[in-house]
Structure 1
């Protein structure tokens, strides 16, 4: 969804048929408002916030940038416009910034816990409906990378896909003939044997799903010896406490759905001057 369409829908959701406060406001006037943090975090949502302000005729006097860290009581944005319009956009603006910054902040904590320049931290497709682009943008601002944006990015085969596949190697040969030349094939594996079979069949990426660090190390050792060109990804309930151990297991990437679905709003508020 394009940013403009997304923001129009977000505003419409809150405004409905119009802000009732306008009916009782005797005279509109220019005013200044400040968005301030009530807790520390990593700022995200700048691109969306600026687009929202431009759409509604509000001037952004000052803002901090995406990826910048902030502390409680820091001023994140200073905006100026019609008093009535500032009140109309207040909740939508705060929702965008709080949600995006929440994801960026949690992601940055995982990046720090990962403590590796060799292993890439990835998100997943476990996103809220219609918010995928917005939420994955927030992950980038936290210092991680995006996995697939959608089913058309790469062919990822899970147990549900492979339920009725009898010959994996033949299936992958068939798939290669029908996929774009640049499309990669990733196979989700839940055991050493499944990972070994996926490599032997010709997968580009093997995902070690819900495996222990020890099991993941064994798969990485087999990969290094026989298929050093295949990429390994660890996934499945990887936490802040365990991610560093997985980073040392020999994988190339670690995907964590929690970056998005476990992130909470960063507390912020808007105050009039």
Structure 2
């Protein structure tokens, strides 16, 4: 086990905590539940620093402690949603997936763990986690389809995102380069999912555009794409549950879209 000083431990955990919180929120489908699991992870390490094993890097060490807690709690997803609500129905759907597949997929594609450290985090073999990732892709592809709106001012990136999302079987309602156009598109046809950049062509904010759409049209799952994820994962104020870092990979987009779409309208969920 890699031993670290208290100062080094604090620095290594602090640098990777925003990514743990991002992962925990995507995994549970809830900001509150995700942050509660992240807090429990920190408490466990503070009570017994020997649990933090940085043999595969500090991020893997932090996520491994999280997974020990997640597994021992029965991998409980958020139960704060009202019975019969869209969110509660989505969570029921998630519970029918093969155990550990969502975890493996998120860790591999969104958090960027290669198979060896991924196996370390999940306390499994490389063969087992590779199979879990394959199963996750197949199950999620069969489970959801819907309408996606893209807010992105760079034409090449917008076209790339459109191609990836369309190949997954979703329909693109339109591409907006500005906040004004985003509002117009959402009014023309409410999407099941919004994929949004942060900085737009006219110097407007993708975050402001999304907030105005949600205030006007009601809840819609959102994935933000940014070159500076740490600026949105500060622990201060509202934060996104789904976040992709630039430069992104096709796998990251596919994984995040599949995850977020689970929390879209129940009309997009197939039994």
TM-score normalised to the size of structure 1? 0.35
Q: Of the two structures, which has the highest relative contact order with CA contacts closer than 8 Å and spacing of 6 or more?
A: 1
Larger radius of gyration: 1
Greater share of helix residues, 1 or 2?
A: 2
Normalising to structure 2: TM-score of the pair? 0.35
